[in-house]
Amino acid sequence: MAAREVRIIFAQVLERVRTLDPANARRWFDQLAILNFDGGSLAVGCPDQAQVQYLQDHCREVFTRAAQQITGHLVVVDFCLATAPSRLASAAESPVVGPRLHPDYTFENFVVGPSNRLAHASCVAVSQSLGNTYNPLFLYGSSGLGKTHLLHAVCHYVRQAALGVTVELLSCEEFVNRFILAIEEGNMAGFQAQFRGVDLLVIDDVQFLSDREHSQEEFFHTFNALYNNGKQIILSSDSPPAEIPSVEARLVSRFNWGLVARIDPPSFETRVAILQKKADLRGVEISDEVAEYVARYVQANIRELEGALTTIYAMSVTERQPISRALSQRALEGQIRLASKNIAIADIINVVRRHFNVRLADLQGKRRSQSITEPRQICMYMARALTKHSLEEIGGHLGGRDHTTVMHACAKIADAAAADPKMKALLDELTKQITQAVQS
């Protein structure tokens, strides 16, 4: 087959991949080169090892499917490292240099804002001078706020900037598993050599050490060996050192020796910027209006923010519509309907109760003051909107009220929402909180 023809086929395959799997498609797919296509097998070359791994981990199936759809034949797809045309190495043969890194998780792709400024700056500082600035560097924050991203970014940086530096990056769970395996195989010497000989040790989610005394002991010795040799240690956790349950005091104290940096949930502006960045990585354009809508919609967790973007993008691809505010709204509200399968009336009551700061006994009781009736009616309305329960069942959860009372409440709140944007906003906010409470 002529080279030009092969290139055209490959361009079609890439386009098909983007529509089949919008969540995993990336802008850099444009840089992929077709190395060889002999009808039955397709070799795809990537400029970077992390990209090879990403494609192997997330995209093998979709590339195979796309290639089969485009060519009409069974095609086996292989991803290879191809730094220069003359130096090809199949990913399977070439030794994996250092840890597996996610190609998205670089400093370049990390949006800095007030919530993560210190964590970001300390990671940059440490990358530029291993072992000499903050040691250990300890990052903590809730799930989905960018800890793993920053740890990978340090490793990307070091891999590119400092040749010959040895790096280990792994989750704490992996560390513990390898430790257990080493004991089983009677190969503690190998285990120790692997971790005590590196220039940079990065361990993600060290809260996993909680209650694992034997692993803590080993980790303690690993830590000391590296620290005493001036080697860099970076750790992450979902809570500050002293609040990780059941970790021995001597480890907690060491975690605090260097710098402890907290990551907070991002502000609205940072969320908008992150969405723009994530869209750009996928080669997708989103308007400020859409980014702002989504950033208001998802607040606490960046992983979910990204999930929302993926949902919207997927809908725009399947419907062949541009990403508008209206489409985004439809995509995200569809998610709510999906989530609502699992919503119980008790979840609704909990969220409403917390919002209005009223007691369950009052919601279920006889009092008819406005401060109680309104939350009670909102509970009924939301239960009607978000669950499949009957009017009787809903009344039953709220102090045994009959179905006409529930019907009246629903009508009243619906009217209020139609007349008053504040009420509409409140209902939207409560809906969001309820679905999030159910999903988490």
Q: Which of 16, 18, 26, 147 touches ligand ADP by CB under 6 A?
A: 147
> From ligand ADP, Mg ion, none, which one binds at residue 146 (CB under 5 to 8 Å depending on kind)?
ligand ADP
Query: Where are the strands (E) in 3-93, listed by range?
Result: 33-37, 41-46, 76-84, 87-90
Nearer of residues 105 and 227 to ligand ADP, judged by Cβ: 105
Q: Which of 63, 79, 110, 191 touches ligand ADP by CB under 6 A?
A: 110
> From Mg ion, ligand ADP, none, which one binds at residue 49 (CB under 5 to 8 Å depending on kind)?
none
Distance CA 440, CA 435 (A): 9
Strand order in the sheet with 33-37: 33-37, 41-46, 76-84, 87-90
Q: Which among 177, 188, 245 has a CA at the least distance from the CA of 222?
A: 188
**Under rule CB under 6 A, residue 262 binds ligand ADP:** no
DSSP one-letter code for 258:
S
Tell me, by CB under 5 A, how many residues bind Mg ion: 2
Minimum Å gap between C-beta 146 and ligand ADP is: 3
Nearer of residues 202 and 416 to Mg ion, judged by Cβ: 202
**Under rule CB under 6 A, residue 27 binds ligand ADP:** no
State the distance between the two ends of the chain, measured CA to CA, in whole angstroms: 52
Give, in order, the Cα–Cα distances in Å from 246 to each of 49, 142, 226, 255.
38, 19, 23, 14
Give, in order, the Cα–Cα distances in Å from 123 to each of 25, 144, 154, 324.
28, 18, 6, 37
CB 413 within 8 A of CB 423: yes
Give the per-residue contact string, 121-150, with Mg ion (x = CB under 5 A; - = no).
--------------------------xx--
Strands 232-237 and 137-140 come out as: parallel
Nearer of residues 147 and 156 to Mg ion, judged by Cβ: 147
Nearer of residues 267 and 350 to ligand ADP, judged by Cβ: 267
Distance CA 314, CA 316 (A): 5
**Under rule CB under 6 A, residue 277 binds ligand ADP:** yes
Q: Which of 35, 145, 206, 406 touches ligand ADP by CB under 6 A?
A: 145
Residue nearest to Mg ion (CB): 148
Which residues, including other chains, have CB under 8 Å from residue 199's CB and lie 6 or more apart?
A: 130, 131, 165, 166, 167, 231, 232
**Under rule CB under 6 A, residue 290 binds ligand ADP:** no
> From ligand ADP, Mg ion, none, which one binds at residue 313 (CB under 5 to 8 Å depending on kind)?
none
**Under rule CB under 6 A, residue 137 binds ligand ADP:** no
- Residues in the site for Mg ion, rule: CB under 5 A? 147-148
- Residues in the site for ligand ADP, rule: CB under 6 A? 104-105, 109-111, 116, 141, 143-149, 274, 277, 302-303, 306
